[in-house]
Amino acid sequence: MCETCGCGDPEIVPVEVQERILSDNDAQAAHNRRHFEGLAVLAINLMGSPGAGKTAVLEATARAAGGRLRLGAVSGDLATDRDADRLNAAGIRSTTITTGSACHLDARLVHHTLHHAPCSDCDVFFIENVGNLVCPAIYDLGQAANVVALSVTEGEDKPLKYPVMFQKADLVLLTKVDLIPHLDFDVHAVEDALSRVMPDAKLLKVSAKTGEGIDAWLEWLEAQRPAQRSGSTSLEHHAHSHEHSHEHH
């Protein structure tokens, strides 16, 4: 009851929270990150528009790596297993997270997948996000780096139109560069656009079709890899701060 005037109205009080609304996802992402780091697995969150060439780049990566790197992946897909099928055929052990109508992956979905399809024997684990230049940027998954695939057919101004995605990128892969001779595409214009939305902009030009730039992409991946496995945390033996039940494989 209101104690100011005794009017009988309930008292309304302000309760300070000052917390990120997605703090649950952040905590789960931190948990995933500890797994990846403990296992010395380089986790890459690969994002981009539908049709930007994310899966094709990974197929080309497997071809070029030729067994030098052990690659694993999980693909976010609204309705099909097609990406995971392609990646498995390319030699990247892969599973699908079928998101239904959800437009992005979140840390909980990735964590759940890791329990059923462990990444512990991978050097690099790709999280191929749902094709979308907006929503995936909001959700930390526990990755070591964000990579955005941008195809030359999408136009040079995409970074300016989708700054939230590109500001979070550690690397942009400009894909399908074999098509440039057939297009009015200005690489300098996309570099300029990136420099205005992405601090420390880094761009690699690649073609999954011809293999151009894939070696440079592999070098970039090698440079990001953690030095060695700490053994302090593993998927097989670890504590959860949250309650859930599942089998550890």
Contact (CB, 8 A) for 115 and 249: yes
Q: Is 15 in the site for other proteins (CB under 8 A)?
A: yes
**Which residues lie below 8 Å from residue 125, measured CB to CB, with a gap of 6+?**
36, 41, 42, 43, 44, 71, 72, 73, 74, 119
From the list 130, 142, 187, 190, the residue with the least C-alpha distance to 166 is: 190
- Closest to 122 in 3D by CA, of 61, 218, 43: 43
Q: Is 239 in the site for other proteins (CB under 8 A)?
A: no
Which stretch in 13-21, 51-59, 66-74, 75-83 sits in contact with other proteins by CB under 8 A?
A: 13-21
Query: Least CB distance from residue 120 to other proteins, whole Å?
Result: 29
For other proteins, give the closer residue by CB, 73 or 130.
Answer: 130
Binding other proteins (rule: CB under 8 A), the pick from 30, 89, 138, 189 is 138
Nearer to other proteins, 7 or 12 (CB): 12
Closest CA to 178 of 157, 205, 199: 205
Judged by CB, which is closer to other proteins: 147, or 198?
Answer: 198
Of residues 167, 224, 233, 234, which one binds other proteins by CB under 8 A?
Answer: 167
Kindly state whether residue 189 participates in binding other proteins, applying the rule CB under 8 A. no
- For the chain, how many residues are written? 249
Report in angstroms how near the CB of residue 139 gets to other proteins at its nearest: 8
In whole angstroms, give the CA distance from residue 9 to residue 6: 8
**What is the rounded distance in angstroms from the CA atom of residue 120 to the CA atom of residue 235?**
7
CB of 212 to other proteins, least distance (A): 27
Binding other proteins by CB under 8 A: which of 12, 223, 227, 239?
12
Query: Which residue carries 């959860």 as its tokens?
Result: 240
For residue 157, state whether it binds other proteins (rule: CB under 8 A).
no
Give the nearest distance from C-beta 138 to other proteins in angstroms. 5
Cβ proximity of 45 and 165 under 8 Å: no
Binders in 30-89 for other proteins, by CB under 8 A: none
Can you give the binding site for other proteins, defined by CB under 8 A?
10-25, 102-104, 106, 134-135, 137-139, 163-165, 167, 195-201
